[in-house]
Amino acid sequence: MSSPTNLFATVPKRSSRAPAAPFLPMSRAEMDALGWDSCDVILVTGDAYIDHPSFGMALVGRLLEAQGFRVGIIAQPDWLSAEAFRVLGKPNLYFGVTAGNMDSMVNRYTADRKIRSDDAYTPNGEPNKRPDRTVTVYAQRAREAFPDVPVIIGSIEASLRRIAHYDYWSDKVRRSVLPDSKADMLLFGNAERALVDLTHRLAAGENIKDIRNLRGTAFMVPPGWLPGDDWGVHNSTRVDVPGKVDAHHDPYAMAQEDKSACATDNAQPKEVIKPIRIMSREERLAMAKEKHDKTVVRLPSYDVVKDDPVMYAHTSRVFHLESNPGNARAMVQAHGERDVWLNPPPLPLAMDEMDGVYDMNYARAPHPSYGKAKIPAWDMIRFSVNIMRGCFGGCTFCSITEHEGRIIQSRSEPSILREIEHIRDKTKGFTGTISDMGGPTANMYRLACKDKAIEESCRRLSCVYPTICVNLGTDHSKLISLYRKARAIPGIKKVLISSGLRYDLAVRSPEYVKELVTHHVGGLLKIAPEHTEEGTLSKMMKPGIGAYDEFKEMFDRFSLEAGKKQYLIPYFIAAHPGTTDEDMLNLALWLKKNNFKLDQVQTFMPTPMAMATTMYHSRKNPLKKVTADSEIVETAKSGKVRRSHKAFLRYQDPANWPILRETLVKMGRGDLIGNGDRHLVPSWQASEDGGLAAGERKRQTSGAGTLDKFVAAPKRKTERALAPTPFIAPESKVRPSILATIKTKPKAAPAAKAGARRK
């Protein structure tokens, strides 16, 4: 692979650079105003163009602009013809195609495969402004518009579809996006380094078909193609399944002289004696590394994995084992008569490179052509600051690791503080509150392996599961320092932390939890235990519920010390692979015991390349060695079962009571159906009992936050009692409902009359 260079090593001197455009042009009129007759690169995106580093097309466009290239943007074009892709003319170098910040299928469809009614990345949230599988459609249209112009695809949608993958929306294994889109090259992950190198090489006249040594790139090659004669091929089954182990030859054993009468000078000896070459440890390691770096792992072909769930799971496991840029090898997978070749993942950006990416000349606003239209995604992030990338958590249902990698890439304090000052001074509508200062995970800022050599050789899928690795640094002091400096900036009233928090890491630093709770929580803190049951959590690679309890104890204690009423809002996932009906029931009972009444809940959505998606499709566990006889992962696939699992998370919603009653009876847990506080759901409701008059339904309350209790109307002769054996929940201290505490204040008790006796 090409040797790494600083991302900004080739930036031309400022004196020879054209001034930065106020916005990258979206029309010929804007190009004319800049004095451009053509664009070097045209980026096509499925999102509205917002010139801010949180939006991929803006970050990539400004990065290339800083390298001296002229970049235009075509945002949300009409894909029904190629005409919209000709609006800026023919690019000199290539089309860069992205679906936007989200996978287009996740953006357009719910977990129940129903089309969404809005799109947060479109002006006024208007839906249907991008096609299904946006990258494929846009790439084909760009090719149609100018057949001789190279097409480069990227973004999370392309990144997660770089090999054969299970597609939830069509319920089948689809090919890599490369042959479907007919793109010349795919850039996966955070691909700034590859993008800059590729663009300069194309500008220098290289043919894109000759550029094959860039990390973080994938492309189509003839079957059996190798970069050189010194490369070797390693079958993936040898990576995951050990073969026969041969006894090692003893180099000190003396060969016996053959003195038999039939021995001749031409006879083959029984043992060939070779001189022993003594090599230093450094030489041995260098030879092993060279051999490793020039080995490609051949994955089972698309034609195999599309019909064989076991081989699909095996492929997923091998793919994830080859994800550390420090030791990952190239991979290849046959697709019909051609191969998809994947180079190793990109090397992470250094801190000064991260600063350079985020410190470029962004307008930090939507393109003026949108006028006063509201873009929900912009409203969400315009007062927030991204401080890092990547996640070493490795949660199986999440695709961040597959896209951004496990190595944390952090910005420096000065760069982050400059952005906060920029928001204060130049962002319209700012009132003094930074809405978030985080990233994929709020408290992984500047956390890393204690030893670079260990980090580069590690093949763990998570640094924090099943336990936090002893080699992982968990010191939060740099993040605490950043928090304090951020809120000390004049004009900043509040800095909130809204990104997801890894609480098993946070409890390692009570000082961090105290700092967070005292200064950076706006009443509610979202946190994601995801589940309570060990079987499900093991498939998620999430910590046990005990870690949540430990964090909650700290959170409550420090909130009390700060004199604040603050609450945790837990997030949970329904119907995750490995989750049984009993697991969801136990979670519902835990919610009731702790008096949580969830408003928004999430049903597991299988996204391409995630390990949980592999479990969903194959019913195999890729976290362990995969064979035909290996562990079976039970998975909720039918719509009815998935709805019942989701209903358990909102047991308090009357709309969910019918399906919960049916499920509980089927499970033999009818004892949880009844009208008492010890039951999970009532045995009847007004709409099911002939429409009872309002007066016949009496609400009784025994304290804030308890379940509603109803006085049952006289039973009809045909009605049967569903709960012959009452369920008694373990006694626990019932705390007030979160919403009840926030929205209402308990009325003060009437003052006791003088002389009255206390009962």
The Cα–Cα gap between 726 and 671 comes to 5
Q: What is the pLDDT of residue 582?
A: 97
Name every residue whose Cβ is closer than 8 Å to that of residue 241 and which is 6 or more positions away in sequence. Answer: 625, 627
Strands 41-45 and 71-75: parallel
- Say how far apart CA 97 and CA 152 lie, in whole Å: 6
**Distance in angstroms between the alpha carbons of the first and the last residue of the chain:** 83
Residues 120/376, Cβ–Cβ less than 8 Å = yes
- Return the pLDDT at 740: 41
Q: How confident is the model at residue 669 (pLDDT cuts 50, 70, 90)?
A: very high
Q: Is the pLDDT of residue 477 over 80?
A: yes
* CATH number assigned to the domain covering 28-234+290-342: 3.40.50.280
* Sign, Cα dihedral of 585, 590, 595, 598: negative
| Spatial contact of 572 and 648, defined as CB atoms under 8 Å apart | no
- Over residues 241-254, the mean pLDDT reads 42
User: What's the whole-number mean pLDDT along residues 747-753?
Assistant: 45
Answer yes or no: is pLDDT of 413 > 90: yes
Q: What angle do CA 140, 145, 148 make, to 5 degrees?
A: 90
Is the preceding peptide bond at 346 cis, omega within 30 degrees of 0?
A: no
- pLDDT digits 0-9 by tens, 146-155: 999 999 999 9
DSSP letter (8 states) at residue 742: H
Question: Region 567-591: what's the mean pLDDT?
Answer: 96
pLDDT band at 3 (very low <50, low <70, confident <90, very high): low
Helix (H) or strand (E) holding 217: strand 217-221
Residue 591 is which amino acid? Answer: L
* 383-520 classified as CATH 3.30.750.210: yes
Report which of residues 631 and 697 the model is more confident about. 631
Is it the case that residue 401 has pLDDT exceeding 90? no
Least confident of 275-289, 330-344, 443-457: 275-289
pLDDT(391) > 60: yes
For 134, the 3-state DSSP assignment is: helix
Average pLDDT over residues 420-425: 97
Between residues 259 and 54, the one the model is more confident about: 54
**Which pLDDT does position 735 carry in this prediction?**
39
Taking alpha carbons only, the member of 56, 65, 58, 134 closest to residue 101 is: 56
3-state secondary structure of 568: strand
Band (200; pLDDT cuts 50, 70, 90): very high
- What CA–CA distance (Å, rounded) separates 580 from 634? 7
Using pLDDT thresholds of 50, 70 and 90, give the confidence band for residue 274. Answer: low
> What's residue 266's pLDDT?
45
Burial of 44 (0-12, 13-18, 19+ CB in 10 A): buried
Q: List CB contacts of 700: < 8 A, sequence separation 6 or more.
A: 708, 709, 710, 711
Is 458 annotated in a binding site? The answer is no
Question: Residue 321 — pLDDT band, cuts 50, 70, 90?
Answer: very high
The residue written with tokens 């700012």 in the block is: 430
Question: For residue 734, what pLDDT band results from cuts at 50, 70 and 90?
Answer: very low
321, 401 in Cβ contact below 8 A?
Answer: no
Q: What is the pLDDT of residues 690-718, one digit of tens each?
A: 443 333 343 333 333 333 333 333 333 33
State how far the Cα of 734 lies from the Cα of 745, in Å rounded to an integer.
17
- Look at residue 417 in the predicted model and tell me its pLDDT: 98
* Average model confidence (pLDDT) across the chain: 87
Chain segment 73-91, per-residue pLDDT in tens: 999 999 999 999 999 999 9
- The percentage of the chain sitting over the pLDDT mark of 90, rounded to a whole number, equals 78
Q: Is 463 annotated as a binding residue?
A: no
Predicted local distance difference test score (pLDDT) of residue 270: 53
Higher pLDDT, 5 or 651: 651
- Give the list of residues 6+ apart from residue 731 with CB closer than 8 angstroms, or none: none
Percent helix, strand and coil across the chain, each to the nearest 5:
35, 15, 55
Distance of alpha carbon 474 from alpha carbon 447, whole angstroms = 6
Identify whether the C-beta of residue 644 lies closer than 8 Å to the C-beta of residue 573: no
Percent of the chain with pLDDT over 70: 83
Q: What pLDDT shows up at residue 283?
A: 67
Tens digits of residue pLDDT in 18-29: 678 999 999 999
> What residue spans of 532-610 are helical by DSSP H?
534-540, 545-561, 581-593
Distance CA 589, CA 604 (A): 20
* Model pLDDT, residue 482: 98
pLDDT of 754 over the 50 cut: no
Predicted local confidence at residue 280, as pLDDT: 74
State the pLDDT at residue 494. Answer: 97
* For the ranges 165-169, 626-630, 725-729, the one whose mean pLDDT is highest: 165-169
391 is in an annotated binding site: yes
Nearest to 537 by CA among 630, 466, 637: 466
Q: What is the mean pLDDT of residues 131-144?
A: 98
- Residue spans of the domains in the chain: they are 28-234+290-342, 383-520, 566-690
Beta pairing partners, 74: 44
Q: Which whole number is the average pLDDT over 447-463?
A: 95
pLDDT (0 to 100) of residue 16? 56
Report pTM.
Answer: 0.85
